[in-house]
Amino acid sequence: MLLEINIDLLQEINSLQAQGRGGAMNPQHQQQLRQANMDDSMAAEEYIQCLRRVQANLAYLAPRADTQQAMKAPPGPAHMTPPAHMPQLQPKYEQLRELFPGWAGNDARMAQSAGSPRTNQMNSMNGMNSQTAQA
């Protein structure tokens, strides 16, 4: 399922690059491009979100190719939701969530961190309790 998602994300990345919406991912990358006399425009948020998901999916899959590294891999992919501008991927991400029941990924953690400090503390404690229960 992750490979199917990555194909869709890579097609979108290619499309965004063709539209001139690719570019530097951060100020350091922008400076490197500037020093090399290359286009130093910043990438669109849509491009960044797609690229981050592809990278995270590959980072999740890579350790599974090596049995010694598989034990160190996270319990699921980092992103369990599609980029906001790609709602057509929602069905695939729903299937992905079915494959990893109970795993919310980093998307849920990031959403929790947007809450109040008290909410974050409660969510953190709940996450620790559920992790303890799973162990």
- Note the pLDDT of residue 74: 80
Give the three-state DSSP class for 25. coil
Mean pLDDT over 11-29 rounds to 94
Q: Where are the domains of the chain?
A: 2-103
* Residues 6+ positions from 47 with CB-CB distance below 8 Å: 13, 16, 17, 21, 22, 23
User: Within 13 Å of residue 51, how many CA atoms lie on the same side as its CB?
Assistant: 17
pLDDT (tens digit, 9 = 90+) per residue, 54-92? 999 999 998 888 877 777 778 899 999 999 999 999 999
Residue 129 has pLDDT above 60, yes or no: no
